[in-house]
Amino acid sequence: MQGFFYKMNELLKELYQEIILDHGKEPRNFGECETHNKSAHGHNPLCGDKVSLTLFIDDDDFIKDIKFSGEGCAISVASASLMTEKLKGKKLSYAENMFKDFTDLVKGSEDSLSTIDEDDSLYALKGVKDFPMRVKCATLAWHTFKNALKD
Amino acid sequence: MNKDKTLRKDIRKDFPILSKKILKTKDLVYFDTAASAQKPQVVIDELNQFYKSHYSNVSRGVHTLSVESTLRYEEARKKVQNFINAKSENEIIFTKSATESINLVAQTFYDKYMSAGDEIILSLMEHHSNLIPWYFLRDKYGVIIKFANITESGEIDVNHFESLITPKTKIAALTHLSNVYGSKIDEKVSSICKKNNVAILLDGCQSAAHLRIDVQKLECDFFVFSGHKTYGPSGIGVLYGKEDLLNEMPPYQGGGGMIGEVTTDKVSYAELPAKYEAGTPPIAEAHGLGIAIDYMNNAGIENIINHEEELTKYAYEKISELDFVKIYGDGDNRNSIISFNIENIHSHEVSSFLDVEGIAVRAGHHCCQPLMKHLGVNSTSRLSFGMYNTIEEVDIFINALIKCKDFFIK
């Protein structure tokens, strides 16, 4: 019995790691890029979480600047914040691989990750896999990023 | 029937899902009945039995099973009629959901009684299912929608409501019991509508299982509710409409069962209630709803109401003592629903935390985005009671809320 209670507490601790609570409370890259050439709004109509993303992508397909604004739960805000940190300076092709790796990670399949490893800040969101209803919170910013690329 | 005004003590045992353990160890505390009620064993068994022994299509054919199905389907209609005290069973239409019931009224009421420029009154606290069907009319036909304000206590501002009525106002569609505040509509609203010759639809999704419903006393023209929030199966909704209106309004969907006579160039329609029940209806679901109504009657509607009142009052007082929690609306007119937020913690976090404690509450906008905007919040958490909840569960919930605050706000 003790073990189970311990495990439940662990699930929550796994979900709400310090870095998630930190980014949830004080998101990085919050706002709008001074100049941007891509943007998108993301919205989770089931729960009302919202994110707006602006990007500046240079001629060589590097993400020179990326910022987000919006409102939502700690998971969705922290995920957006961590995403902007990771994507800044990355080439688009690499970023798209990251998108795939991240969505795999939060759904619980981490066998073929090429861009995210255990030391990565994004790895902190792995705990979402035990809360299937929260996967959408964690991936909202990433799907918005994908949509912005089509802008 | 239990006549001493208290609910049978062992009522929880009738609901098998309540013995489920969450994450293998925690007793389930189900505080999400406003989203959907759990089902008593008798409803589950009867659905099973219906498919095993009586099932066939209804109102078609003359063979034994068709007769057995039809009898049960029509018996369910009679039970619904008595449950809400409608004058005639012709006033009870089975639909697939309360949402479909409202869509049916919006479309056919418009067709018969409205044209561009006519006005509809809704309130800021309507569920999306009582907004969008009317938005369709606005977008397609140019009718005008006006919104009645909500008071600080979470009720329709009756004076403001009355001030919105003009000679162009044809119908008001309002929640009978708010799914966010738990507040019951002021009875004056119906009489104001009647005085001004405005039809009124009451959305009874949250009230049907938690208040005594009498559509004649309510003086409403339409009343809708769903089976699944009333301890019955999903996939069935009810529309009550006054017989003269339902007779005058055109059919909604076309198909089998709703016709009088069909030739290659014309069609006449069936009498009520078949006129509005095109296609094979939710047969077993209707039977299941009838059984759920029997179950509530046997438990005693007044007993259920008393029990839930006690729970709501107790929970409201206990939560009010927590200085880190904000409750929406006040305590006076509150029935089985409490929406709240913990300062600086999103409702998703609260809901995930409580889930790990075995407690099911709803988090989000409750399909009431205009109301969330009015409240200046993105979402709230909501606890809602059914007949099977207990005072002990409220205590478990209160302790979990305190733990939740300590977890997130260090």
pLDDT per residue over B104-152, tens digit each? Answer: 999 999 999 999 999 999 999 999 999 999 999 999 999 999 999 999 9
Burial of A141 (0-12, 13-18, 19+ CB in 10 A): buried
What ipTM goes with this model? 0.79
Beta bridge partners of B146: B121
Among chain A residues, CA nearest to B356:
A8
Q: Does A49 sit within 8 Å of B378, measured CB to CB?
A: yes
Whole-number Cα distances in Å, B187 to A42, B164, B196, B225, B306 = 42, 17, 15, 18, 21
Look over chain B and give the mean of its residue pLDDT values, rounded to a whole number.
96
Residue numbers of B annotated as active site: 367
Chain B residues in contact with A137 by the CB 8 A cut-off are 348
CATH of the domain at A133: 3.90.1010.10
How do the domains of chain B map onto residue ranges? 11-38+300-408, 45-297
Q: How confident is the model at residue A48 (pLDDT cuts 50, 70, 90)?
A: confident
pLDDT per residue over A51-74, tens digit each? Answer: 999 999 999 999 999 999 999 999
Q: Does B372 sit within 8 Å of A48, measured CB to CB?
A: yes
Q: Does A131 sit within 8 Å of B352, measured CB to CB?
A: yes
| Helices B283-299 and B41-53, axial angle in degrees (round to 10) | 150
E strand or H helix that includes residue A50: strand A49-57
Nearest chain A CA: its distance from B379 CA (Å) = 7
State whether residue B341 sits within 8 Å of chain A by CB. no
Query: Would the pLDDT of A4 be above 90?
Result: no
Which CATH number applies to B11-38+300-408: 3.90.1150.10, 3.90.1330.10, 3.10.20.30, 3.40.50.300? 3.90.1150.10
Whole-number Cα distances in Å, B212 to A139, B14, B204, B305 = 44, 22, 11, 8
Q: Does A134 sit within 8 Å of B348, measured CB to CB?
A: yes
> What range defines the domain where residue A133 resides?
2-149
Nearest chain A CA: its distance from B225 CA (Å) = 22
Question: Which architecture does CATH list for B45-297?
Answer: 3-Layer(aba) Sandwich (3.40)
Q: Considering its fold, how many domains does chain A have in total?
A: 1
